[in-house]
Structure 1
Amino acid sequence: MSFSLAWIVLAWACCWGARSADAMETGQFYSSLAQMEFLFDFDEGVGELLLNFPEHLPAATRYLESYVGLRTDRDLGREIRGHPVHVFLVLKRLVLFWPRIASSLFIYTRLEGSCQDQNDGCEGWALSGNCLHYRDYMIEHCTKSCHACLSPELKEQVMWVMSKASIPMPSMQDLRGAALALSRLQSHYHIPVGDFMTGRIEKAQCTPRLTVEDCVLVADVTHAHGRYSTAYIWYDYCQTSASIDPRLQAEIKARKEKLEAEHDLKFIAGNINFFPEPLREKKNQVPWDSPFHQLCRGVYNQNEDKDQAGLMCYVDNRNSPYLTLQPVRYEQLHTDPEMYLFHDVVSDAEIAVLKQLAMRTLHRSVTLASGPKHTNVTEQRVSHTAWLRNSSHAVLERLAHRVAEVAQLEAHEELLATKEAEELQVLNYGIGGLYNAHHDVFYKNVPEYKWSEVNVYANEHQAGDRLATWMFYLSDVIAGGRTAFPDANVAVAPEKGAAVLWYNLKKNGNCNTKSLHGGCPVLLGQKWVANRWIRENANFRRRPCSTDPME
């Protein structure tokens, strides 16, 4: 078996072997780029150490194959920490190669004193190749003859790296999640697989390349998630790229044929996970698209904008004395649902405070679910969440007051029975991070007689449903990351310091189904947002009810 094929088999076994419930919840790095910051720093420390290390470590060769490319891009000033290929390769290095390097480096933490041999036979043993065959003993007792002497600076680097290695490291779940993110970005943004393989994303080029083995891992993970059309495209590219290794190419062909059979057996016409036709009838097909995906790419339906011609921009105080000396710049984005974009409503200093507070409690975002757990960790939502109360910092109280004045709604946290708004939810997205299209309402998207069956948090009905959503944009995003409303034909690009407000409920109290929205995958850069959901019952005076079924 070739090395390449062995790597694939190992990766597949590790990714999909024993998928316990606990293992499915372990991937905590790929789902938040903020949580990846330490890993990038650690990866740099390991890479620089290995470049200057006197001993040849077999695993170091594989580690440095892609690290030197990251080093080149860093020197060129290219985007690194928000580039999906770099994120994937950092996780790959730390998951697949770092454990073997760590075990090799550990012996150096026990070396003390000057670099000397401790046995007269060391030179002869070294000439016989025992530095390799009996490595640990020889490095410790025959340091000089094995040419394993470290300078004080290099010894300090080793100690720093090993001291950081005790902190939790990424798992195969993280590498699997990053691989799925690459396929998600490719399918959402219609980027050729070859561009991902060569590191070309939009206008951001990266030096390191994905290998055929990486390509197969992406295809395998995508196939396992039932995304047949996307997986087929990746397998097809992998098979062509493996032409110099017939055994590897044969293995990829077998997996592709298995996918073809499964695609046609489970085929669902019109389902986005399948091609438009069975593969036995037509091999070369373009996957289905969707309005959500199109909006994520900035493609709008021109036929749906005829009734939005009267939308305008404003600069005024929103009828609030609080805003008289500092009027707000805003624009109306849509009338149904009613939607506004407010510019410069949170400062850089306030954003820094929110991020600092959120970093203390960021955890994997969940979705509501039925059953005893009530929540699910799912690839439908790839981000980390932190909840911040107004009492946690003066900035939170100030922002809550500002939201209330600008939105002209009651939007403070109160006791449950009179809750005006929920705690501020701060989100940081991961590689290809997204939130698939959904409604923000708890229960008003189903008939009234089913409200009691909807899984919501205890006593949430007392405050009414989520009348409106206020979303702060806490960062710019280089590419991707729009907030898309497929039924309203609106997509809002992240703008640091801005906020978007939309109403989830009509004035008659019913769910406005056109408020369906989602967070598009982040293609390049980091995305931070903060949501405040404004509740219904406390705002009956601010937004009077209507008996008109259409209003």
Structure 2
Amino acid sequence: MSVAGMKPLLEMETVLIAELAKYGNSLKQKIDTIESFLSETRSKQAQWQKDREQYVSNPLNGFALIRRLHEDWSFMELFMKTPLGSSEQQTMNEVLEDAPTIDDMHDALTSMQRIQESYDLKASDMANGVLGGVQSQFQLNALDCWMIGSFWYAHNKYYQSSKWLEMAIEQFIITRDIEPYERIYDLNEALLYKNYARTLIKRGQSRTALNAIQKVADSNVDLWLLRRELEESDSVYDFESRYVKSPATIIEKGCRGQLPLNPKLKCHYQTSTNFFLKLAPFKVEMLSLDPYVAFYHDVIYDSEIAHFKALHPSSLRSADPFRQSGGNTDQTLKYAWVEDVNTLNVRIGDMTGLDVEHDTGLRVSNYGLGGHFGLKADNLPENEIEKALGDRLTTTTFFLTDVQQGGAIVIPHIPTSIFPKRGSSVVWHNLDNALNRQKGIEHVSCPHSINGYTDGPKCLKNPASNAITNEGKMLSNNV
């Protein structure tokens, strides 16, 4: 789910909080009324408990007693039966019709898994709000950790599952009010320890599992039976072998910013494609010559960024994986097409030296929780290449937001990482000098751990008026 798509969820939760608060106030008012009624009737009870016969002998008391039992308690019974919160429940039901689905929940869990694996993060750090060494003010509670741990367990990743369930126990213990966990969510300490121990046993850490439940086993019959089972077992031990991480791949190193820069490549000012650039040249950082990849600094204005980011969430739609990425289905983002980008087109022409007459639209993409796309090239599938315009010649991507952590574009063949920077752009060639598909330009977008960004990728087609010089620069025939 994109950042733009998640913003309305905040308003949804605001409405739900307000309705639940109204329901709680109604319950409180009802409790206050009952307490007031009890106070009155108990005061009468205190009078007749001393001498019951003397109390009922008084006609005033006798009448009042009969009236209370006939009238007051009947009304109280009706008052107790009066349903509360029907309007609030109806509103909540209507709001929850648009709540995240089970598929959204699965995607969110998958995104958390992807973020943790891509950046080699510890469950303890993530649970306590530490991402990539940066402490945030947000933390995960016991329920969050419990669900992530259960997700890892379902995927047979018992090491990570045990770490998340361990954090669930820690967060549960420090929770001041555990009653909602037990009454509403049916989550209690015994269940947490039981699943934590089972996960450790799956890892071959039965001795550690026994030690974990030793002090709490007497409080729950299931834990007591599990402890006895482990104590009576002949194989209570911990394997000597520990969890061994696989070596980081090129893509993982790129996502983590661990790829070295090419010392042979330089930065320069670009002035050749437009006379105006003699006064205000582009600042260009070369990332690769073959395939051609260049990073442009400060090439899109704040006003343009604000315009693109102001797109209404309803205009965004999920990317069509096949048509947008040449067959790769591994991507999580939403996008919208913007047609009125003439000014930006002129700038792209100045950057690339290309004639952009046939390329009017710009795709504005919005990445959310763990947003990414898998390894792909931007070439069109063979059966979709338009004869009039040809294949996609170049890709120009504008970064509309800064990303605190994650979100790099990695081209593993070079290899290089391109980290988003607000107002900047990256350009690469999808075709070589012979207008064949460029080899080694396949790229991925790393998961976004903080600040899912918005970008504007634009793929320029290959009209006959465009050519490529041997120097690797895109030039128009009429330049």
Same fold (TM over 0.5): yes
Question: 1:299: how far off?
Answer: 0.5
Instruction: Please tell me whether Structure 1 or Structure 2 has the larger radius of gyration of its CA atoms.
Output: 2
Take 2:423 and 2:90, find their aligned partners in 1: how far apart are those partners?
A: 38
What 5-or-longer segments of structure 1 have no aligned partner? 1-30, 58-119, 141-154, 261-278, 414-420, 444-450, 547-551
Which residue number corresponds to residue 384 of structure 1? 334
Matches within 5 A, 1:383-422: 383-389=333-339, 393=340, 396-413=341-358, 421=359
Take 1:126 and 1:539, find their aligned partners in 2: how far apart are those partners?
A: 89
Aligned length: 378
Structure 1 contact 218–234 (Cα < 8 Å) conserved: no
Deviations 1:498-531 (A, max 9, x none): 1111112221333333212111111111300011
Q: Secondary structure at the match of 1:518?
A: strand
| CA shift in 2, pair 1:256/1:159, >3 Å | closer
Q: Secondary structure at the match of 1:333?
A: strand
Q: Which of 27, 31, 40 is the aligned partner of 2:10?
A: 40
| CA shift in 2, pair 1:375/1:517, >3 Å | closer
Take 1:328 and 1:126, find their aligned partners in 2: how far apart are those partners?
A: 82
| CA shift in 2, pair 1:42/1:399, >3 Å | same
Alignment of 1:525 onto 2:451: yes
Alignment of 1:190 onto 2:190: no
Q: Which TM-score applies when normalising by structure 1? A: 0.60
Which residue number corresponds to residue 181 of structure 1? 111
Deviations 1:266-316 (A, max 9, x none): xxxxxxxxxxxxx9994521134211111111111x4xx5xx434222234
Take 2:308 and 2:256, find their aligned partners in 1: how far apart are those partners?
A: 29
Q: Secondary structure at the match of 1:463?
A: coil
Structure 2 contact 406–447 (Cα < 8 Å) conserved: yes
Q: Which of 476, 492, 497 is the aligned partner of 2:418?
A: 492
| CA shift in 2, pair 1:41/1:541, >3 Å | same
Q: Secondary structure at the match of 2:310?
A: helix
Structure 1 contact 358–387 (Cα < 8 Å) conserved: no
Q: Secondary structure at the match of 1:505?
A: coil
Alignment of 1:232 onto 2:232: no
Q: Secondary structure at the match of 2:467?
A: coil
Q: Secondary structure at the match of 2:99?
A: coil
Q: Which of 476, 488, 499 is the aligned partner of 2:402?
A: 476
Which residue number corresponds to residue 144 of structure 1? none
Which residue number corresponds to residue 356 of structure 1? 310
Take 1:505 and 1:539, find their aligned partners in 2: how far apart are those partners?
A: 15
Q: Secondary structure at the match of 1:35?
A: helix
Take 2:147 and 2:93, find their aligned partners in 1: how far apart are those partners?
A: 31
Q: Which amino acid aligns with 1:384?
A: K
Matches within 5 A, 1:430-469: 430-443=368-381, 451=382, 456-457=383-384, 459-469=385-395
Structure 1 contact 401–412 (Cα < 8 Å) conserved: no
Structure 2 contact 3–367 (Cα < 8 Å) conserved: yes
Q: Secondary structure at the match of 1:39?
A: helix
Q: Which amino acid aligns with 2:251?
A: F
Take 2:459 and 2:70, find their aligned partners in 1: how far apart are those partners?
A: 74
Take 2:360 and 2:139, find their aligned partners in 1: how far apart are those partners?
A: 44
Q: Which amino acid aligns with 1:54?
A: N
Question: 1:442: how far off?
Answer: 2.5
Cα RMSD after superposing both structures: 3.8
What 5-or-longer segments of structure 2 have no aligned partner? 29-68, 174-188, 205-237, 473-479
Q: Which TM-score applies when normalising by structure 2? A: 0.68
Q: Secondary structure at the match of 2:394?
A: strand
Percent identity among equivalent residues?
A: 22
Q: Which of 367, 378, 381 is the aligned partner of 1:429?
A: 367
Deviations 1:225-284 (A, max 9, x none): x6x5xx333212145455984444444555777799xxxxxxxxxxxxxxxxxx999452
Question: 1:44: how far off?
Answer: 3.1
Q: Which amino acid aligns with 2:112?
A: L
Take 1:327 and 1:167, find their aligned partners in 2: how far apart are those partners?
A: 53
